[in-house]
Amino acid sequence: MKDIFGTPRITYRKVGGGFQLVNPAVFVVQIFPEKDIETEFIRLSTKGLLELSVGYWWGGPTGAKPTRDSLRGTAVHDALYRLFRLGLLDLEWKPLVDEILRRLCIQDGMDEGKAKAWEWFTNRFGFMFCKKPSDEDYDNIYVAP
């Protein structure tokens, strides 16, 4: 797989224990769904173009301290995992999504050994974050008060 091309730097703010884009970000990820996928903040075309809109929020690295060399990778990784959870992207793409995390982190200066360890952990344990929550209330929308 070639290096991932796209927005070389992302701009974000820290919000609610995570990060939120203040400018759009675009990546060529070599993931080709059968049809274009579009949510409020994430678009993935059949040609592998991933677009993250202003306002896109992600949690950063799970179980690790966020660093500058992890934020582009985790933004892309979290967006694609969100598409898995929504049932919009087939899980056959998961190994490549985990590889993309590693490659982006290395491109951004992360130690190759650390990035490989992250890929190993996401390959091994990431499925729990790819499945739609089983809670029957997941699809219900509530209003309070």
Residue 65, Cβ neighbours under 10 Å: how many?
7
Domain ranges of the chain: 5-129
% of the chain exceeding 70 in pLDDT: 85
Q: Lowest mean pLDDT: which of 1-5, 90-94, 119-123?
A: 1-5
Q: How many CA atoms lie within 13 A of 119 on its CB side?
A: 20
Res. 31 pLDDT band, cuts 50 70 90: very high
Task: Dump pLDDT digits (tens) for 49-105.
Answer: 999 999 999 998 887 788 899 999 999 999 999 999 899 999 999 999 999 999 999
Q: How far is CA 50 from CA 37, 76, 104, 141, in A?
A: 9, 8, 14, 28
56 vs 54: CA distance, rounded Å: 6
Mean pLDDT across the stretch 110-114?
Answer: 91
Task: Dump pLDDT digits (tens) for 132-141.
Answer: 665 555 566 7
